[in-house]
Amino acid sequence: MAGRRHKHIVLILAREVASNLATPALIADEEGRLVFYNEAAEAVLGRPFAEAGEVPLDEWAATFDPRTLEDAKPLPDHRRPATIALTERRPAHERFRIRSRDGVEREVSATALPLFAHADEFVGIIAFAWREQ
């Protein structure tokens, strides 16, 4: 199958876990490419994963216009949990606003965790989000 990328077993297992959760979850690979989000995340984001497909996480996130709670300014990269988990390879949490594809503005909390196959083998991230309102 030309064009299909091999996914690390850790990402495959994370997808299996996420697909069985009622908590919204998304997974990105080590390059920051969104590789999956579950049905619960579809309800928050207003768009099914099958429609979004595998895209760079920052490009995908920009479509939801993440903004600060304090003053509704664009949420800087250094405060985005998924970006922190990808670039700094550490857990991160933040509350912010998004505008879903359905046009609804929502306050969300997100926590992102780096995924390692071995102590020195970073393979991606998993992020959990939930609506605050």
CATH of the domain at 55: 3.30.450.20
Q: What is the DSSP letter of 1?
A: -
Q: Does 90 fall in a domain?
A: yes
Q: Does 51 fall in a domain?
A: yes
pLDDT tens digits for range 49-89: 888 888 888 887 877 889 999 999 999 999 999 999 999 99
Cβ distance 55 to 62 under 8 Å?
no
Per the prediction, the chain carries an average pLDDT of 89
Using CA atoms, how far apart are residues 6 and 85, in angstroms rounded to an integer?
A: 21
Confidence at residue 127, expressed as pLDDT on a 0 to 100 scale: 96
Query: Domain range spanning residue 83?
Result: 9-131
Cβ contacts of 110 within 8 Å, gap of 6 or more:
81, 82, 93, 94, 95, 96, 127, 128, 129
Query: How many domains does the structure of the chain reveal?
Result: 1
Q: Output the pTM of the full model.
A: 0.88
Helix, coil or strand: residue 47: coil
Q: What percent of the chain has pLDDT over 70?
A: 95
Q: Does 4 fall in a domain?
A: no
Reference 80, options 28, 2, 120, 38; nearest CA is 28
Q: Does 18 fall in a domain?
A: yes
Cβ contacts of 67 within 8 Å, gap of 6 or more:
73, 74, 75, 96, 97, 98
